[in-house]
Amino acid sequence: GDSVTQMEGPVTLSEEAFLTINCTYTATGYPSLFWYVQYPGEGLQLLLKATKADDKGSNKGFEATYRKETTSFHLEKGSVQVSDSAVYFCALRSSSARQLTFGSGTQLTVLP
C-alpha cells in the first residue's frame, strides 16, 4: 500500500538557518505529493504541492521537488524564521486512493 516516510524530529534551528526535511514515499502509479503545515493549536494548511515528476512546488520561501527516480519530495527553505515554527507533514495521494496518506510529521522549532 501507499506509505510516506518522513524525517523524525524534533528539529531545532536558529533563525536564518537552512532547513531540509526529508520525505520519501511508496505508491502505485503517479501520486500527487503535498506538504502541509500545522501551526500550534490550528488545523493543517496546504504549504505546497506537486502533481507530476520534476515539478517544483513553492510557497512562502519553501520549496520541494517531485523526484520520481528517488521517490522523494524533500522540503527546503533557505532562511527560516521564528514564525516557521510548526509541525510539517508530507503526504501523498495516489490515483487509486480517496484519502491522503500522511507521514508522521516533523516538529520544527526556530530560535531567535
Partner 1 sequence: NAGVTQTPKFQVLKTGQSMTLQCAQDMNHNSMYWYRQDPGMGLRLIYYSASEGTTDKGEVPNGYNVSRLNKREFSLRLESAAPSQTSVYFCASSEDGITQETQYFGPGTRLLVL
Question: Considering the rule CB under 8 A, would residue 4 count as an interface residue with partner 1?
Answer: yes
Site string for partner 1, 16-55 (x = CB under 8 A): ---------------xx-x-x----xxxxxx--x-x----
From 25, 89, 108, 110, residue interacting with partner 1 (rule: CB under 8 A): 89
Q: Which is nearer to partner 1, 15 or 56 (CB)?
A: 56
Q: Which is nearer to partner 1, 1 or 112 (CB)?
A: 1
Type of residue at 1: G
| Residue 55 to residue 64: CA distance in whole angstroms | 8
Task: Quote the cell numbers at residue 20.
Answer: 531540509
Q: What DSSP letter does each residue of 59-108 carry, written as one string? A: ETTEEEE-BTTTTB--EEESS--GGG-EEEEEEEE-TT-SS-EE---EEE
Size of the site for partner 1 (CB under 8 A): 26
| Residue 52 to residue 34: CA distance in whole angstroms | 11
Give the binding site for partner 1 (CB under 8 A): 4, 6, 31-32, 34, 36, 41-46, 49, 51, 89, 91, 93-95, 98-100, 102-105
